[in-house]
Chain A
Amino acid sequence: MVTVVDYGIGNLRSLEKALIHVGSPVLRTDLAEDIAAADLLILPGVGAFGACIQAIRQHNLEQPIRDAAQRGVPFLGVCVGMQMLFETGLERGTFPGLGLLPGRVVPFELADRRLKIPHMGWNLITPRYDSALLKGLSDDARCYFVHSFHPTSIREADILATTNYGYDFPSIVARANVFGVQFHPEKSHRVGLRILSNFVALRADS
């Protein structure tokens, strides 16, 4: 069972259906006790960083989420859910994130005016090392991105994969049990489904 934190932002239907598609039941919840009992945890997020983190705080879920990450539960942040793993978000203001990983989230600054913002569409992910999360993916694996911000000033060791859009940015981050993906695995066809199924398999391995 994957526990998906549902703090009232965005539509989690596709994510839930994709997880079911790869064979995992889903519990969508905004309850601290469910998060405390989770053995696989996904933190989704769409829209603005500040709106997401504030909604998490309004639901009193910041500490439960942090506790879950720290007790070693396989944890996956998706899109803004990944961005919130970091210390600070600079979207429409300055907002403290969950601070599970050092770094901040900044807008794309593209010198090449032909590159549109948001970064939208299918782009390559280039892994830096072998990870169970990326098992079975080919070198030309592409994922579906929609975002205007990305993490920066993060620890090199926390970068699992990068993607190039004007420059290389961290598109998958990982430290121990905590993972984050900037793209939408639930919209990334076979590649995304494989990543979700690899994530679900982390529980059996641990």
Chain B
Amino acid sequence: MSLAKRIIPCLDVDQGRVVKGVNFVDLVDAGDPLEQAFHYNDEGADELVFLDITATHDNRGIMRDVVRQTADQVFIPLTVGGGLRTLEDIRQMLHAGADKVSLNSAAIRNPELITQGAEEFGSQCMVVAIDVKRISSGRWEVYTHGGRRPVGIDGLAWAAEAQERGAGELLVTSMDRDGTRYGYDLELLATLDTLVGIPVIASGGAGSLDHLRDAFVIGRAHAVLAASIFHFRTYSIEEAKAFLQSCGITVRVS
């Protein structure tokens, strides 16, 4: 298999500033999204995700500027999520230079947004983010609001519907694992891989390089999203890729 498995750092942005991001001495301004993007780009990140965590209407213009500045200078794919509710919101982000948008609760409220977005802009730029908690073995429920609000939808059924409606990728976060550093929910990932024909990005729980390997080998994920293990400098992306390569996993070494 020559297609590389992808490592995607995620940056949380609030009012144009990175709030959960790299904390390095070598950065002049650790809150500057552009500087963080440069850093990860140099380290060999395969894509970048910006998540607008405030996502208010007023804030969207600031986010667009962040996206525009980054996309103008960092030449790897860029995904933007958080608070995108309408086709016009999506259009503006794509025009600012995002390659993909990630839809979460807006897609649950209005699944037609996935369909319309895929028709208008193409499936390749429609990522559907799904946050789930495990109910029992082999069953997961969809949550919103950072894992606080169950929406009464079966996670696997929603994943299948998102694909059916034209999602190009699924970004799946285990809310049970998110922040725990216990590793990804591998059963969830492997189940989804069997169920859907589009790439699955694993999210939630990465605490070690073994966890990244397991997501690829056992969970059969196409990409891993990771925040804290890179932000806190536990590992660099280069180290992660060297380790994965030593495990026989194909990665891009730039």
Contacts and interface: CB of A to CB of B under 8 A. Distances in A.
B95 A121 contact: no
Contacts, number: 80
Interface in B225-254: 252-254
A120 B46 contact: no
B64 to A, nearest CB: 12
B197 interface: yes
A66 interface: no
B168 interface: yes
Given A121-B6, A123-B4, A189-B41, A116 B222 contact: yes
A54 interface: no
A128 interface: no
A114 B199 CA distance: 10
B71 interface: yes
Interface stretch (B72-80, B106-114, B136-144, B179-187): B72-80
A121 B99 CA distance: 13
Nearest to B74: A189
A120 B199 contact: yes
Chain B contact residues, majority secondary structure = loop
B199 A116 contact: yes
Interface string B73-100: 1011100000000000000001101010
B3 interface: yes
B106 to A, nearest CB: 21
Contacts of A116: 197-199, 222
A124 B71 CA distance: 23
A175 B123 CA distance: 32
Interface residues of B, number: 31
A144 B41 CA distance: 14
Nearest to A165: B3
A11 B4 contact: no
A21 B76 contact: no
Instruction: Pick from A17, A122, A124, A187 the residue with the most CB of B within 10 Å.
Output: A122
Nearest to B199: A116
Closest 3 CB pairs of A and B: A122-B252, A122-B4, A17-B72
Interface of A: 11, 13-14, 17-18, 21, 46-47, 113-114, 116-124, 140, 142, 144, 146, 163-165, 186-193
24 contacts: A11-B95, A13-B71, A13-B95, A13-B97, A14-B75, A18-B75, A21-B75, A47-B122, A113-B197, A114-B193, A118-B168, A119-B3, A121-B4, A121-B199, A122-B3, A122-B4, A122-B252, A123-B3, A140-B253, A142-B4, A142-B252, A144-B77, A164-B2, A165-B2
